[in-house]
Structure 1
Amino acid sequence: MCGLLAMLTDPSGGVSPALVDTVSGASHLMRHRGPDEPGTWSDGEVVLGFNRLSIIDIAHSHQPLRWGPPEAPDRYVLVFNGEIYNYLELREVLRSEFGAVFATDGDGEAIIAAYHHWGTEALTRLRGMFAFALWDTVAHELLCARDPFGIKPLYMATGPGGTAVGSEKKCLLDLAESIGFDASLDRRAVQHYTVLQYVPEPETLHTGIRRLESGSYARVRPGTPPEVTRYFTPRFDAKPFGNGEQARYDEITAVLEDSVAKHMRADVTVGAFLSGGIDSTAIAALAMRHNPRLITFTTGFEREGFSEVDVAVASAEAIGARHVTKVVNQAEFVAALPEIVWYLDEPVADPALVPLYFIAREARKHVKVVLSGEGADELFGGYTIYREPLSLKPFEYLPRPVRRSLGRASRPLPEGMRGKSLLHRGSLTLEERYYGNARSFSDAQLRAVLPDFQQEWTHTDVTAPVYASSSGWDPVARMQHIDLFTWLRGDILVKADKMTMANSLELRVPFLDPEVFAVASRLPADQKITRVTTKFALRKALEPIVPAHVLNRPKLGFPVPIRHWLRAGELLDWAHSMVGSSQAGDLVDLAGVRTMLDEHRSGASDHSRRLWTVLIFMLWHAIFVDGTISPQISEPHYPVQL
């Protein structure tokens, strides 16, 4: 787990010593991603920068990493963020089939050798999380790639000076003058963020910086823009599992056991996050089979009803793990916000990322790697909203004009009136009503806070192509498919990567494994969602593994009391301060936000989610646009090995 930066220059410019220094300085901005060892390499066309967090083959596998076949032993140079969990198996295949020779015991050489012998088809053989840039000194080509689900990030910017790619956007912003890209704000992306609570891929809030999408690679040659190709498209296709239902559950158990076993591969101590839910508990219980001294971690708040600590402690006791907790108060929460948003690079209006930051900081005192349960909901059908097609089933038997009439009839009904929401949702198609696990603003509410609101900038910019590729699937599978391309990679995985890397901690997600997905994607809808539960097949498979008290417990994650804190105390004071000092008035109607704050404080309305979305954007703007807030980021100081 590390931070990479690569700049391929325009042929007319080339690499100067000053440019090497500039790239090295930009790379230092993400030193938290890899405090163990910095590195820089350059030739006449490219500069590679790297910050290493040593996890596997600590004494070797230094990056930038050079490898090549016997006839050209230094042909390739790699900077790589992530882990390849099947690297041992890949190395053995490459030895036996091609006679590949390796100088290290790490996973980086497996990537290079696999690409040399299999080309981009090698990407489908990598079982892990990754973002990398691989420079071919013979072909004069930079290959950039991301893992199938987008666990690890990769930003890209192209201008007259060349193309740069990096693990963090702030590094590319630092290279804006050298590259010459458009660093203005993307107002459409601002609106998308406000609707979705995150910036959807491939957008960022800066016009000239884009993200390489999950499951994609890009070829970059000197003087030409990147050529992007998708190599992995997830598909949900229900298929039989063999003889009887138990065969299905046994296969789920087996693939999860295998995934956790491979995710435990490390030369440092591995721990696990434990939220109190079934997903993280299952991962921790399976990890205990490989490390009986496993340490688990959870966090909560100094407010009754907003803590998973008691359940997590009971779960840790049940599986025999040592447990560590971190309780966060309101003052700590507020004080950490500027630093957290700086680490994020892009605003993400999910309050749960704050406790994740604190528990990652606590975990880093004990371990260097943690396992977590992200991805189970998207793969196995864990969100309650996935049950919506069951409740709306009767509407499918009505003619389309009748459904539309019912929707029109619902409009004059008072807000909150029983049946109003059902009639409205029943009048819409799935494509119209569902675009992921977040919506906090209606169009009318958007107009109240965004002076530049554009009706044509809608969620369909993001979801239409995703829906087009799932035509004919059952509704639950289509909703899962949307979440894989929106909520998962826009919110869940961004906060997981950024908040753990902020603390130089590697987070691994065994559910988001290609082999696990291959099994989960074959489940029919009734094995995911029923009228009384979610993740039905997964719960059945985990009955022998997780403690009974969490088996059917509803999903909570790390609940955050912002609704209460935005009515009194330090967070409300901070909110008023943000609005009062914000220089984002051309993008946000500050008077409208003040009205929302007053209505929320008085209890007249619950604007907590909407307020949080706008406030986090204002904080981001103050840090990355007008520079009125400069978080104090300390140098990370950790031992090389834990």
Structure 2
Amino acid sequence: MGATSGRRYRPRRAAPVAERGFHARPPAGVRVGHREWAATIRARHPHMATRRARPPQASPIAAYWGAVCGLLAFVAAPAGAAETQGADTQLAQADQAALAARADSAIAGASHLMRHRGPDEPGTWADPDADGSVVFGFNRLSIIDIEHSHQPLRWGPPEAPDRYVLVFNGEIYNYLELREELRAEHGATFATDGDGEAIVAGYHHWGADVLGRLRGMFAFALWDTVTRELFCARDPFGIKPLFMATGPGGTAVASEKKCLLDLVDLVGFDTAIDHRALQHYTVLQYVPEPETLHRGVRRLESGCYARIRPGCAPVVTRYFVPRFAATPITSATERARYDEITAVLEDSVAKHMRADVTVGSFLSGGIDSTAIAALAIRHNPRLITFTTGFEREGFSELDVAVASAEAIGARHIAKVVSAEEFVAALPEIVWYLDEPVADPALVPLFFVAREARKHVKVVLSGEGADELFGGYTIYREPLSLKPFDYLPRPLRRSMGKVSKPLPEGMRGKSLLHRGSLTLEERYYGNARSFSDAQLQEVLPGFRPQWTHTDVTAAVYAGSAGWDPVARMQHIDLFTWLRGDILVKADKMTMANSLELRVPFLDPEVFAVAARLPLQAKITRTTTKYALRRALEPIVPAHVLHRPKLGFPVPIRHWLRAGELLEWSYAMVATSQAGHLIDLAAVNRMLDEHRTGASDHSRRLWTLLIFMLWHAIFIERSITPQISEPQYPVEL
């Protein structure tokens, strides 16, 4: 742990569990602080030696609640179930005491793999009435009610005070209002000041309908000791992750997939590569929900919950379906609609500032992050903002971010990333990711999160504004292609054929091709980097039927009759946002034990944005029209109409010379993924890109990140050096 302001932190001994636990006692079956903890971790995970294995103790920051940022739950199959499912009969005949010890040890070891998500308070819990067949693991990063809200949280009505057990990753921003509602309507009582009890009490009184009342980001597992059912849920937009695996041994859920892979012997699921998911990744540059690259592991999708009973597969239900339903704006109502946007954003930011620790803000130089920071500083005049950039000219927004911070009165801290730092961090970053995400912007995000964690424990950011308010330039494409709508369908198709023989890069070729396609055919989130012909060259297992429509068909079916821009936004909510944007946001900040909050992705903000008509989102000259108008009194003028850059990365240049190019050739030369990726084709692409014959940067990055992922998680030929973030003494 690091020190700040010249002062050194002297660790203090943790208070006994009985003094810190729920209702002034430890939850029944809880195991935290046991002597064997460190030895177990060292024995099971010698490759984790770069992180000091140690039993739970008092953090440099006082232990608190608000979020357990790493959760793990295991529900064993009933005795005898493994035999009927064809598994090893020894599991079916095992003594329950042996099963309990085995499960507890396995969960403790697997939980340590995500210690970065919650270094304040790790531990395990086993249901004393389930003979070890229900075990939780948790790693807590505390944000609200620092002294009292420990994990796992137990709550129940007076007649069964310990009925429910919760492990929770996230924050509920309207928890104060929910607690008051539960007190007034149901006489609910609470033992802490945290947000977790609002979830459990709400579930007791409202059932799954509680999910529609929560404003926040969350993934949680809730065990009902009466019904013997595990209830798991994710927030509407997928801000927080949750993976699931089911096998003959039972079902496990976790915040990170690497924890489930560590439990494969306990659960018994299929770890083979999912070739269909690999093809989807190569097309989209991320693995779309609910898929993962391992056949036996799936994500619980955003806006869904799952009910899990011992011996049964999870039953998944969708509770949130985003719908865009425009209402007209007239000259008489225009100003009121802009004011409505401002008001709901102000309210969301105010609620996202609720914390018992210091909150900062990322500031990229664009309108979205600047708006969030400008609203946040009203609640914290000492707000610190953070940004990152590269040494190469044209790939940094540092000057704009500094000017924005000065304009709103915030202190600003910047991190400049070199090419050498970029390359050196890649193995560690991919290890944190769990699944490959071929978005180079996640690397600077990792570094700015590491810098921010030296100063704050929570940051706000502007993710989601583009999807909700129409911020991507591609959303203007329907306006450009509108003349094609008046052509007979056969003629439109023939124009696509005419475009094929035209030289690449020729003016009008792309317009003719895309104009010949329907929206469903041409748009599936972020721009495509591989054509079908290119996919066949690099994927030995290519299947023409595994197209992007596997991912988008059902989503498009749910938006029939909407205007084309709303349909594109809808697609992005289900694909690009939750598959790329929110994955990198969660993984790169949690890698540094930093909580990231996204005020735009709030149900109330979405409700306002979803009512905006097309002309309030996209014009021929701008995007996010209504949002820009609403933010005129808030955002500095130099930012208001500036094009979006985000955290740009000079990948195209670095893949032509220097350390990244050398690393890339070495990765291809040593990769054992030749049965999945045509390595000779990748080498040819590297040669063509290096000489300037073609720009393969996006395609190469997609393949290289997969090969690195394969080397870490499948080949085990690369062992990342997991570094320790620096934590401040006081927050």
Q: Report the TM range for the smaller structure's normalisation.
A: over 0.9
Secondary structure, in 3 states, of the residue corresponding to 1:16? helix
517-526 or 6-15: bigger deviation: 6-15
Instruction: State the partner residue of 2:478.
Output: 389
The answer to whether the aligner puts 1:621 opposite 2:688 as a matched pair is: no
The answer to whether the aligner puts 1:42 opposite 2:151 as a matched pair is: no
Task: Answer yes or no: is the 8 Å Cα contact 1:197–1:438 preserved in 2.
Answer: no
Counterpart CA distance in 1 for 2:567 and 2:573 is 10
For 1:151, the aligned partner's letter is I
How far residue 638 of structure 1 moved from its aligned partner, in angstroms, is 3.2
Task: Answer yes or no: is the 8 Å Cα contact 1:156–1:209 preserved in 2.
Answer: yes
Alpha-carbon deviations, 1:17-65, whole Å to 9, x = none?
Answer: 1210111110110000000001211122310010000100111111111
The answer to whether the aligner puts 1:468 opposite 2:542 as a matched pair is: no
Counterpart CA distance in 1 for 2:450 and 2:511 is 43
Counterpart CA distance in 1 for 2:694 and 2:465 is 33
Instruction: State the partner residue of 2:241.
Output: 153
Instruction: State the partner residue of 1:88.
Output: 176
Secondary structure, in 3 states, of the residue corresponding to 1:74? coil
Counterpart CA distance in 1 for 2:721 and 2:110 is 17
Instruction: State the partner residue of 1:264.
Output: 353
Root-mean-square deviation (CA, aligned residues, Å) is 1.0
Task: Answer yes or no: is the 8 Å Cα contact 2:657–2:690 preserved in 1.
Answer: yes
Instruction: State the partner residue of 2:512.
Output: 423
Q: Which of structures 1 and 2 has the bigger CA Rg?
A: 2
Secondary structure, in 3 states, of the residue corresponding to 1:544? coil
Counterpart CA distance in 1 for 2:543 and 2:162 is 52
The answer to whether the aligner puts 1:334 opposite 2:447 as a matched pair is: no
Shift of the 266–178 alpha-carbon distance from structure 1 to 2, 3 Å rule, reads: same
Instruction: State the partner residue of 1:400.
Output: 489
Counterpart CA distance in 1 for 2:341 and 2:641 is 17
Secondary structure, in 3 states, of the residue corresponding to 2:700? helix
The answer to whether the aligner puts 1:10 opposite 2:77 as a matched pair is: yes
How far residue 186 of structure 1 moved from its aligned partner, in angstroms, is 0.2
Task: Answer yes or no: is the 8 Å Cα contact 1:36–1:640 preserved in 2.
Answer: no
Counterpart CA distance in 1 for 2:725 and 2:364 is 26
Counterpart CA distance in 2 for 1:441 and 1:634 is 35
Of 293, 298, 316, the residue aligned with 2:382 is: 293
Secondary structure, in 3 states, of the residue corresponding to 1:232? coil
Of 595, 602, 606, the residue aligned with 2:691 is: 602
The answer to whether the aligner puts 1:365 opposite 2:454 as a matched pair is: yes
The answer to whether the aligner puts 1:55 opposite 2:143 as a matched pair is: yes
Instruction: State the partner residue of 2:228.
Output: 140
Alignment gaps of 5+ in structure 2: 1-66, 80-91
How far residue 641 of structure 1 moved from its aligned partner, in angstroms, is 5.4
Secondary structure, in 3 states, of the residue corresponding to 1:4? strand
Alpha-carbon deviations, 1:85-124, whole Å to 9, x = none?
Answer: 0000000000111111100000001000000000000000
For 2:149, the aligned partner's letter is S
How far residue 447 of structure 1 moved from its aligned partner, in angstroms, is 1.2
Task: Answer yes or no: is the 8 Å Cα contact 2:460–2:596 preserved in 1.
Answer: yes
For 1:31, the aligned partner's letter is R
Task: Answer yes or no: is the 8 Å Cα contact 1:253–1:542 preserved in 2.
Answer: yes
1:67-216 matches, cutoff 5 A: 67-216=155-304
44-53 or 505-514: bigger deviation: 44-53
1:209-358 matches, cutoff 5 A: 209-240=297-328, 243-358=332-447
Q: Given the two structures, how large is their TM-score scaled by the length of structure 2?
A: 0.87
Counterpart CA distance in 1 for 2:578 and 2:185 is 36
How far residue 241 of structure 1 moved from its aligned partner, in angstroms, is 6.3
How far residue 405 of structure 1 moved from its aligned partner, in angstroms, is 1.0
The answer to whether the aligner puts 1:25 opposite 2:92 as a matched pair is: no
Alpha-carbon deviations, 1:436-471, whole Å to 9, x = none?
Answer: 013110011111111111111000000000000000
Counterpart CA distance in 1 for 2:433 and 2:405 is 30
Counterpart CA distance in 2 for 1:60 and 1:617 is 43
Counterpart CA distance in 2 for 1:330 and 1:474 is 43
Task: Answer yes or no: is the 8 Å Cα contact 1:382–1:534 preserved in 2.
Answer: yes
Counterpart CA distance in 2 for 1:241 and 1:134 is 44
Task: Answer yes or no: is the 8 Å Cα contact 2:454–2:726 preserved in 1.
Answer: no
Shift of the 294–358 alpha-carbon distance from structure 1 to 2, 3 Å rule, reads: same
Alpha-carbon deviations, 1:358-385, whole Å to 9, x = none?
Answer: 0000000000000000000000000000
Alpha-carbon deviations, 1:330-376, whole Å to 9, x = none?
Answer: 00000000000000000000000000000000000000000000000
Alignment gaps of 5+ in structure 1: none
Secondary structure, in 3 states, of the residue corresponding to 1:148? coil
How far residue 410 of structure 1 moved from its aligned partner, in angstroms, is 1.1
Shift of the 299–634 alpha-carbon distance from structure 1 to 2, 3 Å rule, reads: closer
Task: Answer yes or no: is the 8 Å Cα contact 1:360–1:505 preserved in 2.
Answer: yes
11-20 or 405-414: bigger deviation: 11-20
Task: Answer yes or no: is the 8 Å Cα contact 1:54–1:641 preserved in 2.
Answer: no
Counterpart CA distance in 1 for 2:630 and 2:218 is 29
The answer to whether the aligner puts 1:534 opposite 2:601 as a matched pair is: no
Alpha-carbon deviations, 1:125-155, whole Å to 9, x = none?
Answer: 0000000000000000000000000000000
For 2:200, the aligned partner's letter is I
Shift of the 464–177 alpha-carbon distance from structure 1 to 2, 3 Å rule, reads: same
447-456 or 492-501: bigger deviation: 447-456
For 2:125, the aligned partner's letter is W
413-422 or 380-389: bigger deviation: 413-422
How far residue 588 of structure 1 moved from its aligned partner, in angstroms, is 0.5
The answer to whether the aligner puts 1:564 opposite 2:653 as a matched pair is: yes
Counterpart CA distance in 1 for 2:412 and 2:493 is 54
Shift of the 121–641 alpha-carbon distance from structure 1 to 2, 3 Å rule, reads: farther
Counterpart CA distance in 1 for 2:609 and 2:730 is 36
How far residue 191 of structure 1 moved from its aligned partner, in angstroms, is 0.5
Instruction: State the partner residue of 2:10.
Output: none
Alpha-carbon deviations, 1:507-562, whole Å to 9, x = none?
Answer: 00000000000000000011000000000000000000000000000010000001
Counterpart CA distance in 1 for 2:727 and 2:452 is 12
Paired residues, what number? Answer: 642
Counterpart CA distance in 2 for 1:79 and 1:641 is 26
Secondary structure, in 3 states, of the residue corresponding to 1:233? coil
For 1:327, the aligned partner's letter is V
Q: Given the two structures, how large is their TM-score scaled by the length of structure 1?
A: 0.99
Instruction: State the partner residue of 2:609.
Output: 520
Task: Answer yes or no: is the 8 Å Cα contact 1:241–1:247 preserved in 2.
Answer: no
Counterpart CA distance in 1 for 2:211 and 2:328 is 28
How far residue 16 of structure 1 moved from its aligned partner, in angstroms, is 1.2
Counterpart CA distance in 2 for 1:466 and 1:210 is 19
237-246 or 490-499: bigger deviation: 237-246
Task: Answer yes or no: is the 8 Å Cα contact 1:252–1:538 preserved in 2.
Answer: yes
Alpha-carbon deviations, 1:376-432, whole Å to 9, x = none?
Answer: 000000000000000000000011011011111111111111111111111100000
For 2:560, the aligned partner's letter is S
For 1:128, the aligned partner's letter is G
For 1:132, the aligned partner's letter is F
How far residue 576 of structure 1 moved from its aligned partner, in angstroms, is 0.6
Task: Answer yes or no: is the 8 Å Cα contact 1:355–1:558 preserved in 2.
Answer: yes
Alpha-carbon deviations, 1:315-344, whole Å to 9, x = none?
Answer: 000000000000000000000000000000
Task: Answer yes or no: is the 8 Å Cα contact 2:453–2:726 preserved in 1.
Answer: no
